[in-house]
Structure 1
Amino acid sequence: MPETELYDLIIVGGGPAGLTAGIYAMRAAMKTVLVERGMFGGQVAVTKEVENYPGFITIGGSELCEKFLEHATSYDLEIIEKEVVATEPGVKFHTVRLANGTELRGHALILAAGGTARKLEVPGENENFGKGVSYCATCDGFFFRNKVVAVVGGGDTALEDALYLAKITSKVYLIHRRDEFRGSRILQERVFAERNIEIIFNAVVNEILADQSGVTGVSLKDTKTGEQRQLDTEGVFIFVGFSPNNQLVPAGIKKNTSGYVITDEKCETSIPGIFAVGDLRQKYANQIVLAAADGCTAALAAAHYVETCKDCKS
């Protein structure tokens, strides 16, 4: 492939948003390439079960991602499995630079880089990652069979993974800084009904305790009284939200105070021809179905944009 090959559309990211964009871009007969450095499906791929994607009462996260990828590749979507190191806006085309030195150029660019699990930023967290600290229950839950673990968070992911861990561990402490969960009502009902889960409201983890073998417990602080106590636990699973992977977003694109890209209803950013979708974009909620919708919207908008600049020359 020539280093200066010009595409109609370049998609950076292979999660639900990026793959859906690929489907719609190919259906629009655009010359398209999708670049993904790691695992297709993003966060969905490490989700044990998905129960809220239309058409599937329940489906494994990895299986759903495989269906996204299979659908996209059925249109002969070109895929490059390399790391993107930079994106550079232009007037006639936008440039995407890969780690191996390859340079891609496209009239339109869709950024679908997703997000990354947030950290608690407390002592003992970084030092014990992989030694009791985890951000993925389906990835690491097996190692804590019949052990006591703590889950930190109050959203859907925290509740889902607490329920998952309750089936394989001896006990789950579910720790949340507020006095009620943010997760969906149906998940809350399941958590409250699960005997193997002990809920601790109004508490924050201020340190993760460990010895040479790994995590031994957590130090908690009551958010109302300030009282501190320790819990013995061999694992800590942290689900306190995500931060957008905005490192590749060009400097001229507007973002909110949390780092999410601000777009219009077409998912277009403040730079014409560059779109942001999925967990990278500022919106009301982050759900798989909304990420897929973003991918559809951005691809259709990109197709219209490309039609207006077909006379652009590289």
Structure 2
Amino acid sequence: MSDIIDVAIIGAGPAGLSAAVNTLARGKTLRLFSSSENYLAKAERIDNHLGFYNISGKELMNRFVEHVNTMNVHIENEKVVNILPFYDHFMVNINGEIVEAKKVILAMGMSKVKEIPGESKLLGNGVSYCATCDGMLYRNKTAVVWDQSKDATREANFLNEIGVKVIFVSKNEQPKELNPNIEFISGTIDEVNGNTKVESVIIGDKIIKTDAVFMLREIVAPTALIDGLELDGGFIAVNSSMETNIEGVYAAGDCTGKPLQISKAVSEGLIAAQDAAKKIDKIKLK
């Protein structure tokens, strides 16, 4: 386990990169995580961000990334699985690696993750977002792996190799790399069933008995990342300092709501970083 850092930033879009620049500018240590491409990079043309007219989203995003790279900020292409408050700081689970951080800034953009019935209810009781984290709990048991990310096949094979009976569910063709003794089902999971723990999943008109379900998405919904996070109309609720209802956790950018604009995201990333740095300095003075 590494030494505690000042700020963990989740998301590398305009808000996350702005937070990184301003965290570093105030002399704080940070790590920046992102597991998916930012939607800005897909925009055909940007005209409303001050100082940049008639520029493609990809070109603007490249300039943002170049800025942070010049400051020696490395974007880590890793998925954050969950965040746990731990005394006066946080334990951030990065696919099994635990990073300790004094403050957390959520900047993962607008969540497009649609949870299925039973998912939230059974999270931590058979529903998991990380095979390498929880796989050993289901050795000699059955687990369904739902293919929703580029790492799903690798994680399914990992589970199989440590003694888990794996059922791989995907709407895509069966991967050639999938271990031959893993059962493959074409489709998507519609529901997770169980009272106090996972007992089965529904796939179309089939009921598949299982002890666990691994939802291997590229992105984890904010409310699944950290327990008790307050939402407002589907977005993360924040105050004027970009603080959430959980002390030490900030949010910035599209995940906090409209207007969904680059300028707003950049400014909120700055505000979150400034306030986080200020709070860290106050703690040091005590």
- When normalised by structure 2's length, the TM-score is 0.59
Aligned to 1:218: none
User: 1:259 Cα shift?
Assistant: 2.1
Per-residue CA shift, 1:142-176, capped at 9, x if unaligned?
xxxxxxxxxxxxxxxxxxxxxxxxxxxxxxxxxxx
* Equivalent of residue 104 in structure 1, options 94, 99, 103: 99
Structure 1 position 266 matched with structure 2 position 261: no
Letter in 2 for 1:293: S
Query: Judging changes above 3 Å, is the alpha-carbon distance between structure 1 residues 110 and 248 closer, same or farther for their aligned structure 2 residues?
Result: farther
Correspondence list, 1:130-279, <5 A: 245-256=221-232, 258-279=233-254
2:284 alignment partner, SS class? coil
Whether 1:53 aligns to 2:86 is: no
Structure 1 residue 247 displacement after superposition: 4.4
Cα deviations across residues 237-275 of structure 1 (Å, max 9, x unaligned)?
xxxxxxx9424442222112x321111101001111110
Structure 1 residues 66 and 248, CA, compared in 2 at 3 Å: closer, same or farther? farther
1:24 pairs with 22, 26, 48, which one? 22
Task: Give the match for residue 13 of structure 2.
Answer: 15
Query: Does the 8 Å contact 1:107/1:309 carry over to 2?
Result: no
How far does the alpha carbon of each residue in 1:202-235 deviate from its partner, in whole angstroms, 9 at most, with x for none? xxxxxxxxxxxxxxxxxxxxxxxxxxxxxxxxxx
Q: Give secondary structure in 2 for the equivalent of 1:115.
A: coil
C-alpha distance in structure 2 between counterparts of 1:49 and 1:294, whole Å: 22
- TM normalised by structure 1 equals 0.54
Q: 4+ residue runs of structure 1 moved beyond 6 angstroms?
A: none
Deviations 1:269-306 (A, max 9, x none): 11111101111114x41101100111000000110111
After superposition, the C-alpha distances for 1:20-40 in whole angstroms (9 at most, x for unaligned) are: 10010111110111011122x
In structure 2, the gaps of 5 or more residues are 115-219
Aligned to 1:173: none
Q: 1:116 to 1:270 in 2, by over 3 A?
A: closer
The answer to whether the aligner puts 1:83 opposite 2:57 as a matched pair is: no
Check the 8 A contact 2:92/2:100 in 1, yes or no: yes
Letter in 1 for 2:267: A
Amino acid at match of 2:85: P
Q: Is the 8 A contact 1:15 1:114 kept in 2?
A: yes
In 2, distance between residues paired with 1:82 and 1:311? 34
Partner Cα separation in structure 1 for residue 44 and residue 109 of structure 2: 19
Contact between 2:46 and 2:57, CA under 8 Å: does it hold in 1?
yes
Contact kept, 8 Å, 1:113 with 1:245, in 2: the verdict is no
Structure 2 CA distance for aligned equivalents of residues 92 and 37 of structure 1 = 27
Which residue is 2:216 aligned to?
none
Assess if the C-alpha contact under 8 Å between 1:111 and 1:275 holds in 2: yes
Q: 1:285 to 1:245 in 2, by over 3 A?
A: farther
Letter in 2 for 1:86: N
SS for the counterpart of 2:86 is: coil
Q: How well do the aligned residues superpose, as a CA RMSD in angstroms?
A: 2.1
Pairwise CA distance, 1:16: 0.5
The answer to whether the Cα contact below 8 Å between 1:115 and 1:245 also exists between their aligned partners in 2 is no
* Matches of 1:302 and 1:248, distance apart in 2: 23
Offset at residue 56 of structure 1 (A): 1.2
Q: List gaps (5 residues or longer) in structure 1.
A: 120-243
Maintained 8 Å contact 2:223/2:229? no
- Give yes or no for contact 2:10–2:33 (8 Å, CA) kept in 1: yes
| Residue in structure 2 matched with residue 286 of structure 1 by the alignment | 260
1:49 is paired with a residue of what secondary structure? coil
Provide closer, same or farther for how the CA distance between residues 292 and 248 of structure 1 changes in structure 2, counting only shifts above 3 A: farther
The Cα shift of 1:116 comes to 4.5
Number of residue pairs the alignment of both structures matches: 181
Please say which structure displays the higher CA radius of gyration: 1
Given that 1:12 and 1:111 are in contact with CA atoms closer than 8 Å, whether structure 2 keeps it comes out as yes
Superposition deviation, residue 4 in structure 1: 3.3
